Amino acid sequence: MLEALGERLGAIFDRLANRGRLNESDVAEVLREVRVALLEADVALPVAKEFVNRIKEKAVGSDVLTSLTPAQSVVKIVYDELVELMGGAAARLTYSDAPPTVYLMVGLQGSGKTTHAGKLALRLKEQGRRTLLVAADVYRPAAIDQLKTLGRQIDLPVFDESQGDPVKIARDGVAEAKRLGIPTVIIDTAGRLQIDDRLMVELEQIKAAVKPIEILFVADAMTGQEAVNVAKTFNERLGITGVILTKMDGDARGGAALSIHRMTGAPIKFVGVGEKVTALEAFYPDRLAQRILGMGDVLTLIEKTQSVYSEQQAEDLAKKLRKSQFTLDDFLDQLRQVRKMGSMNDIMKMIPGLSKALPNVQIDEKDVSKTEAIICSMTRRERERPEILNGSRRKRIALGSGTQVSDVNKLVKQFEASRQMMKQLGGMKKGRFPKFPMP
Ligand code: GDP
């Protein structure tokens, strides 16, 4: 997500780094480029303007012009402003003192409301909070079935009355949760393809009837500025308390992530990163800013890792890494584990400096079985010390695994990349990023 913007900014700052001392016109030039990069990422014009102005003010008032490392000073200012732009501190869900806690999902049709009602319910379940999902989208019958399927998948109850008045369904749903002693209710509401007054009135009525503690606006990040405009309208009518930005796994340019908070005042609370019910991440402005600026996102990576590794596994791995005993057997094992966390290429992007250091390393998601065959055709010694793999050994392995020598070469290269990534991770200390002056 936001790769293009990250690359653009990275290129601007790299050029800056090669300049040495800066004068005012250098800074003005850089800011112009930053502004263009933001607009190309589909950031709303007033947001981009304000962003650049704030950087200008800060740069003038700081030591950028006299600094011996001006590029780093500029990056630091941009980082701080990016974090601020996206809402500063991470915003969490609010719970009600008088259960059930009611969350209302609102947004346009196709934005991902139903999917994210399920994702959110699963997340709460993992935290020990049960949810009753309420199907109040009566205009799209498939939405009710979709929610029921999701409910079965995550083993949570779904309340529906098939048809009738969505306001009544919402009210009855909350009463049912109370009766059953279920602490959380998530109401999936109807969407339209565009803003529609009747829908807004209906949502206002549901809001008045069930008094949700949170109204979560579900925004499709792929629609960029349009998502921001729609968010503004929903906010004016309903007063949204948070945003769930969906489809951030796609090639969303990022405009919505950067503009929506400034344009609505509502914080982004979660991002959707895939169709699977587990593809939900809490939104941390600082981590995303780090990702955009190519500093990786170690904390999210660690959280993902924790969700698939046991502590013992993690400890064993850390020990191997420390002793540089990481072998191709371990690599195969990691590959299988890491695939559980999501796309390998996305994961690699979270590691500071890695995408810059190895811009062309692409891991083919479908290649694990091939990889397995290749590793299985190696001798124990070869797996432990891949540096002994000369031409004839590689030929033998290719033959044995039914692959090409080029496949074997590719795998060895990937292994080396992976070793490097592990080394970086192993050497990383919390709060310290390579080549970056953190406070
Ligand atoms: P609703 O009309 O707002 O309820 O939208 P749905 O929940 O039915 O989602 C619309 C489509 O977007 C479905 O095909 C979902 O699988 C897909 N979708 C939802 N969230 C995400 C996401 O975070 N990433 C991706 N890639 N697809 C998503």
Q: Where do the domains of the chain lie, and which CATH numbers do they carry?
A: 3-85 (1.20.120.140), 101-292 (3.40.50.300), 298-427 (1.10.260.30)
Share of the chain above pLDDT 90, in %: 46
pLDDT at 331: 77
pLDDT at 9 over 90: no
User: Ligand 1 center to residue 274 CA distance, Å?
Assistant: 8
If you count DSSP H runs as helices and E runs as strands, how many of each does the chain have, helices first?
Answer: 20, 8
Binding pocket residue ranges, ligand 1, CB within 6 Å = 107, 109-115, 143, 146, 191, 246-247, 249-250, 272-275, 279
31 is in an annotated binding site: no
252: DSSP letter: -
Q: What is the four-CA torsion angle of 118, 122, 128, 134, rounded to 10 degrees?
A: 10
248 is in an annotated binding site: yes
Q: Alpha-carbon distance 132 to 117, whole Å?
A: 10
User: Ligand 1 center to residue 113 CA distance, Å?
Assistant: 7
Peptide bond into 100 cis (omega under 30): yes
Q: Where are the alpha helices (DSSP H) in 86-196?
A: 113-126, 141-154, 166-180
Q: Alpha-carbon distance 81 to 371, whole Å?
A: 43
More confident residue, 315 or 172: 172
Read off the pTM.
Answer: 0.72
Under 8 Å between Cβ of 419 and 324: no
Point out the ligand 1 atom lying closest to the alpha carbon of residue 140: 2
Q: Which amino acid does the sequence have at 129?
A: R
Q: Alpha-carbon distance 286 to 295, whole Å?
A: 11
Q: ipTM of this complex > 0.90? A: yes
pLDDT at 176 over 70: yes
User: Ligand 1 center to residue 26 CA distance, Å?
Assistant: 44
pLDDT at 60: 76
**Nearest C-alpha neighbor of 47 from the set 82, 90, 71:** 82
Highest mean pLDDT among 147-156, 252-261, 323-332: 147-156
Under 8 Å between Cβ of 218 and 116: yes
Summarised one tens digit per residue, pLDDT across range 266-284 is 999 999 999 999 999 999 9
Smallest CA separation from ligand 1 atom 2, residue: 110
Residue 201: count of CB within 10 angstroms of its CB: 11
More confident residue, 2 or 395: 395
Q: Residues for the chain: how many in total? A: 439
pLDDT at 426 over 60: no
Smallest CA separation from ligand 1 atom 26, residue: 274
190: DSSP letter: P
Q: Please report the beta strands in 275-424, taking only residues with DSSP state E, as ranges in sequence order.
A: 280-282
111 is in an annotated binding site: yes
**Nearest C-alpha neighbor of 336 from the set 316, 307, 365:** 365
User: Ligand 1 center to residue 117 CA distance, Å?
Assistant: 11
Full strand arrangement of the beta sheet holding 158-159: 158-159, 131-136, 184-189, 101-106, 214-220, 242-246, 268-272, 280-282
User: Ligand 1 center to residue 111 CA distance, Å?
Assistant: 6
pLDDT at 298: 58
379 is in an annotated binding site: no
Ordered DSSP codes for 132-143: EEEEE--S-HHH
Of the listed ranges 2-16, 173-187, 324-338, the one predicted with least confidence: 324-338
Mean pLDDT of 2-27: 80
294 is in an annotated binding site: no
Q: Where are the alpha helices (DSSP H) in 18-112?
A: 24-40, 45-60, 70-85
Summarised one tens digit per residue, pLDDT across range 97-142 is 888 999 999 999 999 999 999 999 999 999 999 999 999 988 887 8
**CA angle 348–354–357, rounded 5-degree value:** 140
User: Ligand 1 center to residue 4 CA distance, Å?
Assistant: 23
Of the listed ranges 285-294, 350-359, 393-402, 422-431, the one predicted with least confidence: 422-431
pLDDT at 70: 73
Residue to mutate (ligand 1; options 275, 277, 343; most atoms within 8 A of CB): 275
**CA angle 304–289–302, rounded 5-degree value:** 15
User: Ligand 1 center to residue 112 CA distance, Å?
Assistant: 4
pLDDT band at 250 (very low <50, low <70, confident <90, very high): confident
148 is in an annotated binding site: no
What tokens appear for 345 in the block?
């290429």
Residue 11: count of CB within 10 angstroms of its CB: 12
Collect all residues with Cβ–Cβ distance below 8 Å to 128 and sequence separation of at least 6: none
Residue to mutate (ligand 1; options 115, 145, 277; most atoms within 8 A of CB): 115
pLDDT at 213 over 90: yes
pLDDT band at 430 (very low <50, low <70, confident <90, very high): very low
pLDDT at 431: 34
Q: Alpha-carbon distance 8 to 127, whole Å?
A: 38
Highest mean pLDDT among 13-17, 48-52, 365-369: 48-52
423 is in an annotated binding site: no
